[in-house]
Structures are given as structure tokens and as C-alpha cells.
């Protein structure tokens, strides 16, 4: 008779243990897509400076130089809602590849036309329209793709890293465009071609789950405006949208009076450009504070606090001028903005049904974008009749009044971070 000794120590739970998360810096799909998106953003920021300078050199008309940005922005705004609907209904990888291919071809057409001496104002403005359209269709898709390659537990960290992309490109793009333009008229546009090619290569190289969930209707229910209706139906979401809209409006309105004050104080064009770079520097530093600010404050308190900090900062350039003061003011104003952008993703985009998410993202981006032309136009209109300092004080007062309803909103005070 053979005796046996049991070595059973209980049920094996190793198969039930969740797999360990790969650190985000080793997630090659995310990092490659992030690099492609960063390249596309840098190309956009170079283009935003280089194209108006090219039109100014071609025509000598400041209005035509400004028309490029106006056309690009208008097309992006008009197509934004439709871009979200397309993202909810069709293969997202294919949309991204098509958008990046269109951006590449549009960018390539400029140096080719310059080489052939056939570049016209109409051609350049059409390129602006194409770039605006690619932003409308690729923007929601890039945010959806992020969720396909990053686990939910790392999404906030990935969004914070994405803020580095946005603000880094905003900081590097304008001076890089000026430097490249100094090397030759075609050089900055060849730079945008290279940036577009890198973005397209990254989108082509990475495979991810890119098809809408057919089990939930594939995004076909509710129509293109379903995302906007979803946002407007919830009091908490309405207030959450209102505050960033006000900040966008006020922030864009601040820049023109500040530039007038600096010019009146004898600051050179280069000095004004460096002073305005404070915005991007503040955004870069703010990206590093996202997780800390989210730990310190509930969503409603964070939203209202960042907004109220901007009110007294509007008055600083009127009390102590100079490029250094303006640089510091803009940097401080932007410190909390990346935390707000990530907060919008956490509170809104992550909480909506998958089949509606693209349209909600597009509707949110469209509402935020509306504040930019409203603020710029309003500031220009006021500066026709008021001094720059008076205009800043008036906008500070209007922002303070507009922030009173969100400050006392019960829905906003009750908002909490999702578990």
C-alpha cells in the first residue's frame, strides 16, 4: 500500500488575478500614436504662423493674411458636429488615415506650387479649408482612439501627457515657423509635409479596435445633434461646459488688448511674441500638475477656482506693464487649464455611452471653440472705442458676473470624481 501526502494548499487563484498593467511609457501603441498626434499638432502650429506670413508677403494685405486662420477655423467649426457623428458610425482608423492623408496632400501642394511659381491666394485659402476639415474629423477620432490603446486606469495619466503635446507644440511652433521661413520660403511648408507624413505613418503602423460597437447601434441612433442634446439635458453638464467656454472667450479677448498695451509701451514685435509664449509655458507646467490638482480638489471646486483666478489676472497688465509681467500673468492663468481639460474628459466623455461618445466629444469641442471668435471679435470691437486697459477691466468685470451662477450651482458643488 502506497501512502501519499497531499500538497494541495487551496484553490489556485492565479488565473483570476488581473494582468499587471504595462507602464504607460512602455505602451508602444499609445506612445507611437501620441508621437504622431504631436507631429500633426506641431505641423498645425507651424502652419498657423507660416501661411499668414506667406500671404502677407504675396499680397501685402493684412486682411488676406488673417483670412487663412479665419477660413481654417470656420470650416473646423462648421464640420465639427458632423465629425463626431462620423466617428460614431464609421471605422475610426480609416477616418484617421483619410484625414492625415488629406492633410499631407494639402500641405505638399504648397511647396510644389511655389516651385512651379503657380501659388495663388485661392489655392492657399483652399488649403486652409482642407486643414480645418481634417481637424474636425480627426479631433474626435484621436480622443476615441486613446481609449482603445490605454487601459481605463491609466487614462488620466495619458490625458495629462497629451496636454504636453498640445502646449509643447504651441510653444515651439511659431518660433520654428519663423526660423524655417528664414531658411527659404518653401522650408516651413516642407516642415508641415514632414509632420503630416509622420502623423500618417503612426496612424498606419498602429492597429487598434477601430469599429463602432454594432451591438449598441453603431452610433446610428439620435442623429448628428444627439451629443449636443445629451449635454444640454443635464444641468451639471451645462454648467461644466459654460465655465471653459467663458475662459476661452475671456482668454482670447485678453490677448488683443495686452498686445496693444505692450506696443504702446514700446515693446518690439519679438518681445510681444515672447510675452505671449507665457500661455504655452503655463500650459506645459500645468500638465505636470493635473494629478495633484485632481487629488486636492473636487471637480466643481477645481472648475470654479481656476476660473476665478483669471479675474484678478486680467487687471495685472493694467497695473504693471511690460513683457515679463505679461509672460508671468499668462503662465499663471494657464496653470490650471490642463487639469480642467482632463476633468472634462473624466466627467463627461468617460461617462457617456460608447455609441454617443464621438458626438459628445465633437459637441463639447465645438462649444469651447465658439468662445474664441466671440472673445476676439468682442475685444476688437471694444478697442475701437475704449483704451486697452479699460477693455481689460471691463472683461474682468463681465467674467466675474458670468461666473456667479456656476459658483453657486448646486449641481456643480455636488459633482464628484468617478470611482
Helix, strand, coil tally for the chain in percent (to 5): 80, 0, 20
pLDDT at position 289 is: 92
DSSP string, 58-89: HH--HHHHHHHHHHHHHHHHHHHHHHHHHHHH
- Look at residue 218 in the predicted model and tell me its pLDDT: 53
Alpha-carbon span 159 to 271, nearest angstrom: 32
pTM score:
0.82
Report the pLDDT value the prediction gives residue 5, as an integer from 0 to 100.
42
Closest CA to 236 of 414, 368, 399: 414
Nearest to 369 by CA among 251, 236, 256, 227: 251
- 3-class SS letters over 186-212: CHHHHHHHHHHHHHHHHHHHCCCCCCC
Q: Which of 136, 140, 117, 139 is nearest to 128 (CA)?
A: 136
DSSP 233: T
- CB-CB contact of 148 with 254 (8 Å): no
For residue 117 the three cell numbers come to: 511659381
SS3 117: coil
pLDDT string in tens for the chain (419-residue length): 444 444 444 444 444 545 567 888 888 989 999 999 999 999 988 888 888 888 888 888 777 887 888 888 889 999 999 999 999 998 999 999 999 999 999 999 999 999 999 999 999 999 999 999 999 999 999 888 888 888 888 888 888 888 888 888 888 888 888 888 888 888 999 999 999 999 999 999 988 777 766 555 555 566 878 888 988 888 888 888 889 999 988 888 888 888 888 888 888 877 888 888 898 999 999 999 999 999 999 988 999 999 999 999 999 998 877 889 999 999 999 999 999 999 888 888 888 888 888 899 999 999 888 888 888 888 888 888 889 899 999 999 999 999 999 999 888 888 888 86
Contact 348, 364 (CB under 8 A): yes
Q: How far apart, in whole angstroms, are the C-alpha atoms of residue 193 and residue 102?
A: 11
Question: How far, in Å, are 215, 232, 311, 338, 396 from residue 402 at the CA level?
Answer: 43, 18, 11, 22, 10
**Distance, CA of 244 to CA of 81 (rounded, Å):** 18
pLDDT at 1: 40
DSSP 137-184: HHHHHHHHHHHHHS-GGGHHHHHHHHHHHHHHHHHHHHHHHHHHHHH-
pLDDT at position 217 is 53
List phi, psi (to 5°) of 235: -60, -40
State residue 76's pLDDT score: 92
| Gap between the Cα atoms of 106 and 111, Å rounded | 10
User: Can you tell me which residue has the cell 479631433?
Assistant: 139
303 to 18, 51, 200, 369: CA distances (angstroms):
35, 35, 35, 18
Amino acid at each position: 500500500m502506497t501512502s501519499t501526502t497531499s500538497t494541495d494548499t487551496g484553490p489556485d487563484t492565479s488565473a483570476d488575478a488581473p494582468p499587471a498593467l504595462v507602464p504607460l511609457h512602455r505602451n508602444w501603441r499609445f506612445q507611437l500614436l501620441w508621437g504622431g498626434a504631436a507631429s500633426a499638432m506641431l505641423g498645425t502650429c507651424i502652419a498657423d504662423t507660416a501661411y499668414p506670413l506667406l500671404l502677407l508677403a504675396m499680397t501685402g494685405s493684412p486682411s488676406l493674411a488673417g483670412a487663412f486662420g479665419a477660413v481654417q477655423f470656420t470650416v473646423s467649426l462648421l464640420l465639427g458636429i458632423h465629425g463626431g457623428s462620423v466617428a460614431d458610425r464609421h471605422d475610426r482608423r480609416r477616418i484617421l488615415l483619410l484625414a492625415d492623408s488629406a492633410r499631407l496632400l494639402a500641405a505638399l501642394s504648397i511647396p510644389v506650387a511655389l516651385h512651379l511659381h503657380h501659388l495663388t491666394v485661392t489655392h492657399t485659402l483652399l488649403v486652409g479649408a482642407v486643414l480645418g476639415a481634417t481637424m474636425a474629423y480627426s479631433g474626435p477620432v484621436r480622443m476615441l482612439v486613446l481609449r482603445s490603446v490605454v487601459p481605463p486606469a491609466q487614462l488620466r495619466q495619458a490625458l495629462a501627457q497629451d496636454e504636453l503635446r498640445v502646449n509643447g507644440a504651441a510653444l515651439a511652433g511659431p518660433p520654428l515657423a519663423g526660423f524655417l521661413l528664414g531658411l527659404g520660403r518653401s522650408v516651413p511648408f516642407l516642415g508641415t509635409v514632414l509632420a503630416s507624413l509622420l502623423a500618417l505613418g503612426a496612424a498606419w503602423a498602429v492597429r487598434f479596435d477601430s469599429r463602432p460597437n454594432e451591438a449598441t447601434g453603431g452610433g446610428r441612433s439620435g442623429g448628428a445633434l444627439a451629443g449636443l442634446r445629451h449635454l444640454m439635458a443635464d444641468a451639471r453638464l451645462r454648467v461644466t461646459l459654460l465655465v471653459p467656454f467663458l475662459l476661452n472667450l475671456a482668454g482670447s479677448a485678453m490677448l488683443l488688448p495686452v498686445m496693444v498695451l505692450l506696443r504702446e509701451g514700446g515693446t518690439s514685435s519679438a518681445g510681444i511674441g515672447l510675452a505671449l509664449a507665457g500661455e504655452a509655458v503655463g500650459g506645459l507646467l500645468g500638465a505636470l500638475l493635473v494629478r495633484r490638482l485632481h487629488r486636492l480638489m473636487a471637480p466643481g471646486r477645481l472648475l470654479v477656482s481656476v476660473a476665478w483666478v483669471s479675474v484678478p489676472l486680467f487687471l495685472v497688465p493694467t497695473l504693471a506693464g511690460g513683457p515679463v509681467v505679461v509672460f508671468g500673468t499668462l503662465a499663471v492663468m494657464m496653470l490650471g487649464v490642463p487639469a480642467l481639460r482632463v476633468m472634462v474628459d473624466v466627467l463627461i466623455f468617460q461617462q457617456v455611452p460608447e455609441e454617443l461618445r464621438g458626438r459628445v466629444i465633437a459637441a463639447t469641442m465645438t462649444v469651447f471653440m465658439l468662445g474664441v471668435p466671440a472673445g476676439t471679435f468682442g475685444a476688437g470691437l471694444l478697442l475701437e472705442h475704449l483704451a486697452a486697459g479699460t477693455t481689460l477691466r471691463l472683461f474682468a468685470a463681465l467674467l466675474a458676473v458670468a461666473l456667479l451662477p456656476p459658483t453657486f450651482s448646486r449641481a456643480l458643488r455636488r459633482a464628484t470624481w468617478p470611482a
